Amino acid sequence: MQSGDGPPTISLQLVPKMLSPLTSVWSPKAFVVSFKLETDPKILVKKAKAALDKYHHKLVIGNLLHSRKFEVVLVSPDSEETIKLNEKDKVAGVEIEKYLVAEVVRRHQMFQSQNNNGK
């Protein structure tokens, strides 16, 4: 690419969502987790629940763009749970993933024990 040719042109294309074949064909019994990032707190949980209804997976980890590093909401078909860093954690540089990963692991283990997938 030559700089004298002017600025580069970028062309974006839509790609198909993979959640539908993943949860309906490839691995319908798996503990599938998706993510939902929004900018409007009024629609985050609603859109997370809509994704659960559409794709029939187990968990949506939702967050807002402005607070994504400090707060997430875990939305499952039957519950909503917020994980939020406290001020002490923020000052200490703790990342939300510390608590998020632990909770997802806990839920996956419960799923395995309830569905005998661990055998």
Q: Which residue has the tokens 């994504």?
A: 68
The boundaries of the domain holding residue 63 are: 20-115
Burial of 36 (0-12, 13-18, 19+ CB in 10 A): buried
Distance (Å, whole) CA 60 – CA 57: 8
37 part of a folded domain: yes
Distance (Å, whole) CA 75 – CA 93: 26
Q: What is the pLDDT of residue 118?
A: 46
Instruction: Report which residue type is found at 69.
Output: K
Number of structural domains in the chain:
1
Q: What is the pLDDT of residue 6?
A: 84
Q: What is the CATH number of the domain that holds 96?
A: 3.40.50.10300
The pTM of this model reads 0.82
32 part of a folded domain: yes
5 part of a folded domain: no
pLDDT digits (tens, 9 = 90+) for 62-111: 999 999 999 999 999 999 999 999 999 999 999 999 999 999 999 999 99
